[in-house]
């Protein structure tokens, strides 16, 4: 009777905690099988049960963040997805019916024409630049927004225009996207040393010191165990008296979702010989509220809006700190005026429509426009997509919830997927999936999960 009573109390307790019947049945086998054994080990048994209950409760706590109306949202707003199970949010978000209608309404409010010839369109784009900065915790006083076709073009703009110097160092995380690895080509042409590091070792690399206390030994020594030691055949130019070093890292790994310790960036920039920091936030910005440039002083940050909202496609941004903008500004030959055209660290710089204030077809004369955004945005920008951006943000917030609500829902889905897939086993007891990432640490883990299947024989 005592055992029966204890089991009944346990069941009522779990009903009170809104737990499932399955959870209660998982705990019941842990209880003593007779009153005698309960009396012999009263505190040990109670502690054992409490520990098991606490672990189970922790595995269910995330479900409180799951949005109850999400199934209704799917039926009403994502009917075009039919019964597809969509798992490519790291590639592009799903656009909703409300977003498409909101975008159409924004375009039909007035006539939009080429901003190079219509000042009204340029004014609208300027307002959207401010909206983008506020979205990421920045302001016009500290940052600039350059609209691009996506994060990849933003990275290319940095590579083409950065003030590379012979003898400088380009450091990048091993977890970087392919588009970041492509920057090695620009660094090699400029005679820079290229090295890589593990994202989790950023803090330890930060404390490396060298001559004069400079942070340059981030891989400057061939024997540095923290770095790959790879030299990509830099050109044998004479080193510039002013050396510019660039460090590139993802805010969140595209492969496993591991996040960088972004608090290191402020210290990197405060050194006597500071590093310029390029943050690939294409994945990090997908998490609502995940990117806060007010707390993360990266010099250059790239994002893709279609990864965040799904619509419109072909639109991203390069966000620059104003105190770092000089690193991407075009240069002129000394005493040459505009006769030789604009140049960058790698030689004559390409320019297109809207980039120059004056140009000659019969000579090398070309004068870049004074605004850096005009210099970097080559050709006519995606002005229709740019103008619809505020409507996309508003549509998502109205239909799903605030940034915090959406972030918690995403965490709940990711946590539940991790718990279920990590528990899958073959009949022989071997784990079915290998899950990458640090899913036990929310601060270090983003909303991405890779789990390749394993054969039961390995």
What pLDDT, on a 0 to 100 scale, did the predictor assign at position 20?
A: 47
427, two tokens: 């009949």
| Cβ neighbours of residue 124 closer than 8 Å, sequence gap 6 or more | 112, 383, 386, 387
pLDDT tier, 316 (very low <50, low <70, confident <90, very high otherwise): very high
Residue 369 is given by DSSP the state: -
Sequence-distant (≥ 6) Cβ neighbours of residue 348 within 8 angstroms = 340, 341, 342
Q: Is the dihedral of CA 93, 96, 101, 106 positive or negative?
A: negative
H or E segment to which residue 250 belongs? strand 245-250
DSSP alpha helix (H) spans, 69-224: 70-77, 97-107, 119-135, 151-161, 178-181, 184-189, 202-206
pTM, two decimal places? 0.76
**pLDDT tens digits along 230-250:** 333 333 344 456 789 999 999
- For the stretch 77-97, pLDDT in tens is 999 988 888 878 778 889 999
**Residues 182-238: tens digit of each pLDDT:** 999 999 999 999 999 888 888 877 766 333 333 333 334 333 434 443 333 333 344
Model pLDDT, residue 376? 93
pLDDT of residue 56: 56
Per-residue b or e along 270-305, where b marks 16 or more CB atoms closer than 10 Å to that residue's CB: eeeebbbbbbbbbbbbbbbebbebeebbbbbbbbbb
Q: With beta carbons less than 8 A apart as the criterion, state whether 12 and 2 touch.
A: no
- Residue carrying structure tokens 């889905």: 413
Q: For residue range 11-21, what is the model confidence (pLDDT) as tens digits?
A: 444 444 444 44
Band of pLDDT at residue 6, cut at 50, 70 and 90: very low
Closest CA to 29 of 52, 54, 47: 52
pLDDT of 295 above 60? yes
8 A C-beta contact, residue 309 and residue 396: yes
Is the pLDDT at 438 greater than 90, yes or no? no
Mean predicted confidence (pLDDT) in 355-359: 89
Predicted confidence at residue 169, as pLDDT, reads 92
pLDDT at 118: 93
Pairwise CA distance, residues 268 & 49, whole Å: 48
- What torsion, rounded to 10 degrees, do the Cα atoms 114, 119, 120, 126 define? 90
Which residues, in sequence order, are CB contacts of 21 under 8 Å at separation 6+?
none
How far apart are the C-alpha atoms of 195 and 211, rounded to whole Å?
19
**Pick the residue with more confidence: 60 or 8?**
60
Model pLDDT, residue 129? 97
Residue 312 preceded by cis peptide, ω within 30: yes
Identify whether the C-beta of residue 102 lies closer than 8 Å to the C-beta of residue 395: yes
Strand, coil or helix: 163 = coil
Query: What mean pLDDT, rounded, does the chain reach?
Result: 78
Band (pLDDT 50/70/90 cuts) for residue 439 is low
Band (pLDDT 50/70/90 cuts) for residue 55 is: low
Least confident residue range of 63-72, 395-404, 416-425: 63-72
Res 140 pLDDT > 70: yes
Q: How far is CA 359 from CA 115, 232, 332, 363, in A?
A: 20, 37, 14, 9
Residue 402's pLDDT is what? Answer: 83
Whether 24 shows a pLDDT value over 50: the answer reads no
Give me the helices (H) in 41-142, please.
Answer: 42-60, 70-77, 97-107, 119-135
Q: Whole-angstrom Cα distance, residue 387 to residue 349? A: 29
Contacts of 62 (CB under 8 A, 6+ apart): 411, 412, 415, 416
Listed ranges 254-263, 356-365, 402-411; the one with the highest mean pLDDT: 356-365
Give 117-129 pLDDT, tens digit per residue.
999 999 999 999 9
Q: H/E element holding 317? A: strand 316-321
CA distances from 300 to 158, 307, 367, 445 (A): 8, 19, 25, 23
| The pLDDT of residue 303 | 97
Contact 297, 266 (CB under 8 A): yes
Predicted pLDDT at 103: 95
Determine contact, residues 446/283, Cβ cutoff 8 Å.
yes
**266, pLDDT greater than 70:** yes
- Give the tokens for residue 45: 């048994």
What is the mean pLDDT of the segment spanning 108-137?
A: 94
Lowest mean pLDDT among 29-33, 54-58, 62-66, 91-95: 29-33
User: In terms of pLDDT, which residue wins out, 184 or 338?
Assistant: 184
Instruction: Give the span between the Cα atoms of 183 and 346, in whole angstroms.
Output: 13
> If pLDDT is split at 50, 70 and 90, which confidence band does 451 have?
low
Percentage of the chain modeled with pLDDT above 70? 72
């Amino acid at each position: 009777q005592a055992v029966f009573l204890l089991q009944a109390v346990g069941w009522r307790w779990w009903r009170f905690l809104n737990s499932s019947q399955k959870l209660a049945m998982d705990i019941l086998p842990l209880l003593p099988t007779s009153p005698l054994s309960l009396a012999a080990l009263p505190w040990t048994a109670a502690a054992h049960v409490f520990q098991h209950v606490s672990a189970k409760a922790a595995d269910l706590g995330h479900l409180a963040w799951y949005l109850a109306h999400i199934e209704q949202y799917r039926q009403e707003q994502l009917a075009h997805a039919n019964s597809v199970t969509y798992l490519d949010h790291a590639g592009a978000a799903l656009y909703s019916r409300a977003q498409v209608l909101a975008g159409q309404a924004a375009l039909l409010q007035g006539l939009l024409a080429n901003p190079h010839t219509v000042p009204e369109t340029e004014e609208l784009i300027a307002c959207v630049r401010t909206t983008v900065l506020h979205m990421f915790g920045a302001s016009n006083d500290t940052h600039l927004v350059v609209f691009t076709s996506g994060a990849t073009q933003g990275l290319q703009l940095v590579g083409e225009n950065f003030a590379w110097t012979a003898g400088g160092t380009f450091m990048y995380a091993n977890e970087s996207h392919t588009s970041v690895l492509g920057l090695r080509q620009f660094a090699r042409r400029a005679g820079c040393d290229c090295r890589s590091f593990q994202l989790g070792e950023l803090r330890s690399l930060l404390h490396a010191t060298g001559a004069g206390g400079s942070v340059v030994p981030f891989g400057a020594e061939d024997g540095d165990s923290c770095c790959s030691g790879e030299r990509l055949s830099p050109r044998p130019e004479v080193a510039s008296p002013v050396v510019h070093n660039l460090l590139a890292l993802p805010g969140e790994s595209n492969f496993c979702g591991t996040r960088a310790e972004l608090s290191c960036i402020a210290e990197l920039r405060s050194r006597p010989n500071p590093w310029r920091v390029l943050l690939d936030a294409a994945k990090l910005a997908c998490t609502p509220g995940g990117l806060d440039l007010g707390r993360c002083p990266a010099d250059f940050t790239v994002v893709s809006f279609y990864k965040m909202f799904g619509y419109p496609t072909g639109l991203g941004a390069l966000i620059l700190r104003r105190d770092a903008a000089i690193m991407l500004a075009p240069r002129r030959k000394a005493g040459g005026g505009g006769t030789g055209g604009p140049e960058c660290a790698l030689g004559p710089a390409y320019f297109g429509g809207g980039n120059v204030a004056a140009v000659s077809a019969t000579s090398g004369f070309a004068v870049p426009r004074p605004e850096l955004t005009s210099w970097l945005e080559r050709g006519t920008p995606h002005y229709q997509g740019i103008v619809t951006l505020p409507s996309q943000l508003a549509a998502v917030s109205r239909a799903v919830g605030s940034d915090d609500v959406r972030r918690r829902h995403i965490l709940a889905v990711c946590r539940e997927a991790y718990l279920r897939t990590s528990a899958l086993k073959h009949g022989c007891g071997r784990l079915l999936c290998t899950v990458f990432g640090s899913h036990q640490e929310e601060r270090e883990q983003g909303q991405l999960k890779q789990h390749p299947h394993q054969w039961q024989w390995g």
